[in-house]
Amino acid sequence: MKNSKHISKSTGFKVPESYFEDFKLKIKDLKANQNQSGFIVPDNYFEDFKLETPKPVKVRKLYEVYKTIAVAAVLLAILGTLLLGLFRTEPDTSLNFSKLDQSDIENYLEYEIMMEDDLYVEDDNLKFNFDKENIKENTIIEDLDDSSLEQLMDY
Amino acid sequence: MDIDEEKDLIARLCSARQADGAFQELVDCYKERLYWHIRYLLKNHQDTDDVLQNTFIKIYRNIKKFKGDSRLYSWMYRIARNESYTFLKKRSKQLKISSEELQDHIVNNLESDVYFEGDEIKLKLQKAINTLPEKQREVFQLRYFEEMKYQDMAELLNTTEGALKSNYHHASKKVEEYLKSN
Is the residue at A36 inside a domain? yes
Q: What is the spatial distance between Cα B45 and Cα A7, in angstroms, rounded to a whole number? A: 11
Q: What is the spatial distance between Cα A141 and Cα A131, in angstroms, rounded to a whole number? A: 16
Phi, psi for residue A13 in degrees, rounded to 5: -75, 135
Please, what sign has the CA dihedral across residues A99, A104, A105, A111? Answer: negative
Kindly state the average pLDDT of the residues B84-110.
93
Name the most confidently modeled range: A87-96, A121-130, B30-39.
B30-39
Q: What is the spatial distance between Cα A36 and Cα B7, in angstroms, rounded to a whole number? A: 32
pLDDT at A17: 85
The DSSP line for A27-72 is: HHHHHHHHHTT-----TTHHHH----PPPPPPPPPHHHHHHHHHHH
Is the residue at A25 inside a domain? yes
Is the residue at A111 inside a domain? no
* Residue range(s) occupied by CATH 1.10.10.10 in chain B: 118-182
The gap from C-alpha A108 to its chain's centroid, in whole angstroms, comes to 46
Q: Which of A54 and A111 is assigned the larger pLDDT?
A: A111
Interface of B with A (CB under 8 A): 20, 23-24, 27, 31-33, 35-36, 39-40, 43, 45, 52-53, 56-57, 60-61, 64, 114-119, 122-123, 125-126, 144-147
Q: What would the pLDDT profile of A44-77 be if each residue is shown by its tens digit?
A: 655 565 656 567 777 778 888 888 899 999 999 9
Is the residue at A24 inside a domain? yes
Q: What is the spatial distance between Cα A85 and Cα B129, in angstroms, rounded to a whole number? A: 94
Is the residue at A11 inside a domain? yes
Kindly state the average pLDDT of the residues B33-37.
91
**A26 in Cβ contact with B53 (< 8 Å):** yes
pLDDT at A1: 43
| Domain count for chain A | 1
Question: CB–CB of A11 and B33 under 8 A?
Answer: no
Q: What would the pLDDT profile of B8-19 be if each residue is shown by its tens digit?
A: 888 898 888 888
User: Does position A35 have pLDDT exceeding 60, yes or no?
Assistant: no
**B39 in Cβ contact with B68 (< 8 Å):** no
pLDDT at B136: 94
pLDDT at A44: 61
pLDDT at B41: 92
**B41, B57, B61, B137, best to mutate vs chain A, most A CBs in 10 Å:** B57
Asked: is B118-182 a CATH 1.10.10.10 domain? The reply is yes
User: Does position A89 have pLDDT exceeding 60, yes or no?
Assistant: yes
**Domain spanning B1-98, CATH architecture:** Orthogonal Bundle (1.10)
User: Does position A37 have pLDDT exceeding 60, yes or no?
Assistant: no
Kindly state the average pLDDT of the residues B39-56.
92
Q: What is the spatial distance between Cα A34 and Cα B58, in angstroms, rounded to a whole number? A: 12
Instruction: Share the mean pLDDT of chain A.
Output: 69
